[in-house]
Amino acid sequence: MEKIENILRQEIFIDEESHKYYLKGVEINRPSVSTIMQYLPQYVFDDSFAETQEGKEILVNAITRGLHLHKIAEVWLKDRQERTCCNLYGHLEMKRWLLKILQKITNDYNEEDGWEIISELSMVGERYVGTLDILLINNKRKQYLIGDIKTTRHPDLQKETLQLTLYKHLLEERFKQININDMKLNNYFVINCNKINKEVYFMSENIQKIAEKHTLEIFEILNLRNKNL
């Protein structure tokens, strides 16, 4: 039986440098998950601190750290190879923590039990696009989990759950496109890699309900914007 990963990735491509999405070779000009989240004022990213040189350096280092750890996870989950770490402050410690958690995930959600672990899955929906960090999926059990990698000291779990919920809706669209039926979300999780906060978070039912409510509000805004185009 063909792996679900191969089916999910069919006809979709993302240029990592430009962050442009392509479907069947055609560039798709739709907003990303991170963009539409900011349609709601409580989720707007405040980057005013980056107006100073010190703040700018903090932001650049944070972005670099995040990209670095995401690539480490992608390479390890795909090839089980450990990518050489850079010399940026704190990265080696974060890398070791991340790889420890990824190893536990591969042990707990193993191929023998029907699980596939997919990293950096890009998706194109009718209204927006996005790339999720980790998808654990089992076609036999008809279950899946969506995970994200963060590097913040104090993750905003409501915000993270909204992001994961938007990925879930994209994934459900994709399931319909490729005729995968009856899949049920098991949970969302966040692997937080920070020197002072190394933790794996699973999202409560209440947080998920609020995220679904906010997702519908975002969809209403998207619908209005598309009507006005």
Question: Which domain CATH number covers 117?
Answer: 3.90.320
In this structure, is residue 208 part of a structural domain? yes
Q: Which domain holds residue 138?
A: 4-46+93-227
| Burial class of residue 36 in the structure, from the number of CB atoms within 10 Å of its CB (0-12 exposed, 13-18 middle, 19+ buried) | buried
pLDDT tens per residue, range 123-172: 999 999 999 999 999 999 999 999 999 998 899 999 999 999 999 999 99
In this structure, is residue 220 part of a structural domain? yes
State how many domains the chain has: 1
In this structure, is residue 144 part of a structural domain? yes
Query: Whole-model pTM above 0.85?
Result: yes
In this structure, is residue 52 part of a structural domain? no
In this structure, is residue 15 part of a structural domain? yes
pLDDT tens per residue, range 98-136: 999 999 999 999 999 999 999 999 999 999 999 999 999
